[in-house]
Amino acid sequence: MKHTAGAGKPQVQDRPTGELVKQLSEQVSALVRDELKLAGLEMTRKGKRAGAGAGLLGGGGVVALYAAGCLLASAIIAIGRVVAPWLAALIVGAALLTVSGVMAMLGKGRLRTAAPVIPEEAVTGLKADVQEIRERGRR
């Protein structure tokens, strides 16, 4: 076996095929493990975003329910008395509807940033790794 000057390992051309295959297998296994770990981290991050968006969307629905109750109360008061208390209930109901609309839009935006639920970074990295392996295999 030939050794390079100053190096403790033989050159790649001088290594036995079995050793090269073993090294390739180890490197591919490590690469796949790392890519799966990256995919898991990315999915966790997207899941957290989706959860926050769903919470805001649900919160907007609850506020809209209270707003509907206030608007109904304002209509009842308006019919029953035709004085200032219905106006106060109407203002509160409109404010609650505005808040629910803002919350719903924020929740929708959060859900949109979490979609699609595909680990894009991991897929891109895996494609680049496959391309690199193909190029090295052609050499």
pLDDT digits (tens, 9 = 90+) for 89-105: 777 778 878 999 999 99
Instruction: Kindly give the parts of the chain with pLDDT less than 70.
Output: 1-13, 79-83, 116-117, 139
**Residue pair 46/122 in contact by the 8 Å Cβ criterion:** no
Residue 1's pLDDT is 45
Residue 130's pLDDT is 78
Residue 139's pLDDT is 65
Burial of 9 (0-12, 13-18, 19+ CB in 10 A): exposed
Half-sphere exposure of 119 (CA within 13 A, CB side): 16
List the chain domain ranges.
15-138
Report the amino acid identity of residue 95: A
Q: What 3-state DSSP class applies to 3?
A: strand
CA distance 50 to 56: 10
The residues facing 3 across adjacent strands are: 10
- Please enumerate in sequence order all residues whose Cβ is within 8 A of that of 10, keeping only pairs 6 or more positions apart, or say none: 1, 2, 3, 4
Residue 27's pLDDT is 86
Whose structure tokens read 């050499």?
A: 139
pTM greater than 0.85: no
Biggest CA–CA distance in the chain, Å, is 104
